[in-house]
Amino acid sequence: MSTRVGVVTFPGSLDDGDAARAVRLAGADAVGLWHADPDLHGVDAVVLPGGFSYGDYLRGGAIARFAPVMETIADAVRDGLPVLGICNGFQILCEAHILPGALIRNQHMHFRARDQRLRIEAVQPVWTNAFTDSQEVVIPIKHGEGRYVADERTLDALEANGQVVARYVGGNPNGAQRDIAAISNVAGNVVGIMPHPEHAVDALTGPSTDGLSFFTSMLKFLAGAPADQGAS
Amino acid sequence: MPLALYQVRWGTFVSFREAHTSGPAADSGKICVHSQECPVARVVVDVMLKPEILDPQGQAVAGALPRLGVSDVTSVRIGRRIEIEFAGEPDLDKAREIADKLLANPVIEDFSLHIDTALGTQDGTVKPDSDSQESEPAEAPA
């Protein structure tokens, strides 16, 4: 039986289609989840895609976090549901306080769209077991509010707990503190990432296929494959 | 929460015109068009980035001030103002809950709120000079 991965569509989501495609390329069934439907339809994992939910009105993700589907996801996360929040999805997870910190306006005030080098900082059992420690990857970014901020105590805790999943290398595109591009919750089942792994899944349409490893990691985890603990 | 109970207006936009059919203005027995003066009690929420958060937007504005011939401004920080009108009496506790849960992100923003009962034009703009281009307010029906 094939693994089912839900991809949520909010009003204004843009990259739900590409996220679903990445799920299929990784070898799972993509299940469309509607923001107003609190039912997760038995999916084994969820992707919150990129885009401009509710036009980024008020703050990116500020309104989407109150969607009915998010209430169910918040509960399911506590039970270990794997969730990947990409760009706007990362913003929604922070607004929902499922992940700490916040994403604010890029420091240089420009919307930045480019292929970005990242270093994978934490090889975790759920979303990054297919990477090697300190592996450098190239994944596109496209955002105007991608600057990750949190107070010093939170940043220190993220570092100490191995919750920093990826950092920008070769230039910080948005002024994110400690060059943070992706973080996880303490349990590791939830990852928020500003770059777009779903745009780096095949050689024809992306700068690399590095993004696919997030999705294959998750499938490997769900299949019960022995997790690569890696360096913590 | 049912947003139909409130009117939430975005501080940086001019509000659209709309007739009151309920609330204090209608109780007085006349229909009050928004652009006219009518007494409405509303809660105003001011949201600002916490002082320790860098505000590049404010910095960009500060950088533009010399072009206006202003040279003695040392800092500009930009927030947002939200006006909330309740169907009944303004509820500060409810407004505080709205502000804390939605209008401000407590990770990066602080907010303050107050009840604004001043009689004034509903679009909240400063009354223009007589030679400005502001359009005439609509006449209320007799």
ipTM of the complex: 0.85
Dihedral sign from CA coordinates of B79, A176, A15, A99: negative
Number of domains present in the structure of chain B = 1
Interface size A-B, in CB pairs within 8 Å, comes to 32
- Residue A68 touches chain B, beta carbons under 8 Å: no
* A117-144: pLDDT as tens digits: 999 999 999 999 999 999 999 999 999 9
Domain with residue B58: its CATH number is 3.30.1280.10
Query: Residues 169-188, chain A: which have Cβ within 8 Å of B?
Result: 175
* A47-93: pLDDT as tens digits: 999 999 999 999 999 999 999 999 999 999 999 999 999 999 999 99
Active site residues of A: 87, 196, 198
Q: Does some domain include residue B28?
A: yes
- Residue A59 touches chain B, beta carbons under 8 Å: yes
CB contact under 8 A, B56 and A109: yes
pLDDT, residue B8, reads 67
Give B41's pLDDT tier (boundaries 50, 70, 90).
confident
Q: Does some domain include residue B83?
A: yes
The stretch B45-60 carries a mean pLDDT of: 95
pLDDT, residue A69, reads 98
Residue A231, pLDDT above cutoff 70:
no
User: Cα dist. B57→A110, A178, B119 in Å?
Assistant: 11, 21, 33
Give B117's pLDDT tier (boundaries 50, 70, 90).
confident
Residues whose CB is less than 8 angstroms from the CB of residue A196 and which lie 6 or more positions away in sequence, other chains included: A15, A18, A50, A86, A87, A139, A140, A141, A142, A211
pLDDT, residue B75, reads 96
> Does the predicted model carry a pTM greater than 0.90?
no
Q: Give me A211's structure tokens.
A: 């993004």
Please state, in angstroms and rounded to a whole number, the distance separating the CA atoms of residues B132 and B127: 10
Domains of chain A: 4-222 (3.40.50.880)
Distance from CA of B131 to the nearest CA of A (A): 35
The stretch B82-88 carries a mean pLDDT of: 93
The stretch A146-165 carries a mean pLDDT of: 98
Q: What is the largest CA-CA distance in chain A?
A: 48
The stretch B101-127 carries a mean pLDDT of: 78
Q: What is the largest CA-CA distance in chain B?
A: 54
pLDDT, residue B6, reads 53
Residues of B within an 8 Å Cβ radius of A:
49, 52-54, 56-57, 60, 102-103, 105, 107-108
Report DSSP letters for B1-47, one per residue.
--GGGEEEEETTSPPPP-B--SSHHHHTTS--BTTSEE---EEEEEE
Chain B environment of A106 (Cβ under 8 Å): 56
Chain B environment of A110 (Cβ under 8 Å): none
Give A225's pLDDT tier (boundaries 50, 70, 90).
low
Distance from CA of A106 to the nearest CA of B (A): 8
Residue B21, pLDDT above cutoff 90:
no
Please state, in angstroms and rounded to a whole number, the distance separating the CA atoms of residues A187 and A169: 26
* A161-171: pLDDT as tens digits: 999 999 999 99
Residue B103, pLDDT above cutoff 70:
yes
Out of A101, A109, A151, name the one closest to residue B57 (CB): A109
Q: Which residue of B has its CA nearest to A104?
A: B108
Please state, in angstroms and rounded to a whole number, the distance separating the CA atoms of residues B64 and B132: 24
Q: Does some domain include residue B130?
A: no
The rounded mean pLDDT for chain B is 73
Q: Does some domain include residue B62?
A: yes
pLDDT, residue B88, reads 87
The stretch B7-11 carries a mean pLDDT of: 60
Distance from CA of A67 to the nearest CA of B (A): 12
* B27-40: pLDDT as tens digits: 444 445 554 555 67
Q: Give me A191's structure tokens.
A: 């990852």
Q: Does some domain include residue B136?
A: no
Give B2's pLDDT tier (boundaries 50, 70, 90).
very low
Give B10's pLDDT tier (boundaries 50, 70, 90).
low
For residue B79, the enclosing domain spans 3-121
pLDDT, residue A106, reads 97
Q: Does some domain include residue B139?
A: no
